[in-house]
Amino acid sequence: MKIRFTTSSLRVRITPNELEQIKNRTSLELGFGIANGWKFRLEASEQTTLESRAGVVVLGLSSADAKLLSETTRDGVYFEFDGIRFFIEKDFPCEHSRSNLEEPTPTFERTHAGIEIDVGSVETTRALHILLRERLDFPEFYGHNWSAFWDAINGLVEIPTHIKFLNWDKLEQRLNFDARMLRQCLTDLSAKSNCEVEYA
């Protein structure tokens, strides 16, 4: 299990074995190895929730969402609760060279090279850039503007070969300028790469 977090988001990546453990209602726990370090627990629950219990961050995953995560066409399941976005994603093989200090772990086999990004709930320009940063694996120093976005998709990170935006019409209604900028950047990228973009 791997964890990445910011002040407003939590991303958990799990192995195939860990997903099976959750489906069998076995809890997974991870802690930072210093005295009084933080702890995190992923467990099966009736509904998907995120809470703190006695100093432990607990993410409960419902059986319905665990079933969704098991689908071969899904990379992850994505939620928002009290202003915190949290994701549980399959851990795929790293596309970049790993440090020889990092232990290899079992990973999911890639069945497709595409992702879906739901922009239906995005209400501000900054929220859109945060979502793009998180879903496209931009680095933490990403500048949250269209110039930085163009730089990021042009060599800073590896872009999926297929990107499908869900609820695109809602983004166009709320943030028309940003929707046009995003579409133009990706159209220009597609013209010189094998990246295909779908707006649904």
Specify the fold of 113-200.
Barnase; Chain D (3.30.370)
The residues pairing with 9 across neighbouring beta strands, listed in sequence order, are: 85
Name the average pLDDT for the chain.
86
**DSSP run (H or E) holding 69:** helix 63-70
Question: Which ranges in the chain are annotated with CATH 3.30.370.10?
Answer: 113-200
Indicate if the pLDDT at residue 119 is higher than 50: yes
Q: What pLDDT, on a 0 to 100 scale, did the predictor assign at position 44?
A: 93
The CATH 3.30.1360 domain(s) of the chain lie at: 1-93+105-112
The pTM assigned to this predicted structure is 0.57
1-93+105-112 is a CATH 2.60.40 domain: no
pLDDT digit string, tens, across residues 89-117: 888 765 444 445 556 677 766 555 688 89
Q: In 3-state terms, what secondary structure has residue 111?
A: coil
pLDDT tens-digit series, residues 132-181: 998 998 888 899 999 999 999 988 888 888 899 999 999 999 999 999 99
Determine whether 173 is exposed, middle or buried from the number of CB atoms within 10 Å of its CB (0-12, 13-18, 19+): exposed
